[in-house]
Amino acid sequence: MSLLANKIALVTGAGSGIGKAVALKYAAEGAKVVVSDIAEKGGHATVEEIKAQGGEAIFIKADTSTAENNDLLVKQTIEQYGALHISCNNAGIGGPLGQVGDYPVDGWDKVIAINLSGVFYGMRYQIPAMLQSGGGVVINMASILGQVGTKNSAAYVAAKHGVVGLTKTAALEYAQQKIRVNAVGPGYIETPLVKDALDEASYQALTGLHPIGRLGTPNEVAELVLWLSSEKASFVTGSYYNVDGGYLAQ
């Protein structure tokens, strides 16, 4: 039997990159997938790809930086499929670069709203739905920068550290109610956004930060997310798993 047969899964930021890879992986393992993103074109494309591979999915547009959109997203999921068993809170942005002393305040507010508050809002409405569904699994997308710092990305680093702490707290609160909560910390991942944003020298420098000698792929992150979302990880909760090519081992 498929790993996620008869499960209903919700993935935010699923219109591209890691979120898309997770949605495709969930669907391939039998889950009915709610694909959510603020980008409609990418979200619909993910749904069409899932359907082309024989899976089942719908797209719901949502801005995860607002509590109202997260509430509506869960309600629409329940209306469509009658339950919620798995969520991957993946939506996020990099935000502006700058030192703390002159970091743009509006940039800080936006990054925190999407990358940290968005994860809280997601769980705030997902967890009650999972309790009604008999239990579930939450995967929160953190980063290697949920464990260490880096210059010029104060908001991103603070948000991802917050996601790790939030994950541990929720895991403790719901461990005895059949809900597991874990965080995943990718290193730098090969996406069009990364490739297009960097010149060749910068790209090579970024690659050099990973002892394995390359960037990761969205599919490699999705493999870890899939395992954590399945019963194969039934004794795993409150954990923070890195998939980083050795970045944090240095």
d(CA 147, CA 124): 24
Task: Please give the angle made by the CA atoms of 120, 40 and 8, to the nearest 5 degrees.
Answer: 55
Active site residues: 156
Strand partners, 185: 242
**Contact of 189 with 221, CB cutoff 8 Å:** yes
In this structure, what DSSP letter does residue 76 have?
H
User: Which neighbouring-strand residues pair with 203?
Assistant: none
CA distance 242 to 146: 10
The CA-CA-CA angle for residues 194, 198, 200, to 5°, reads 120
Type and span of the H or E element at 58: strand 56-61
DSSP string, 32-56: EEEEEES-HHHHHHHHHHHHHTT-E
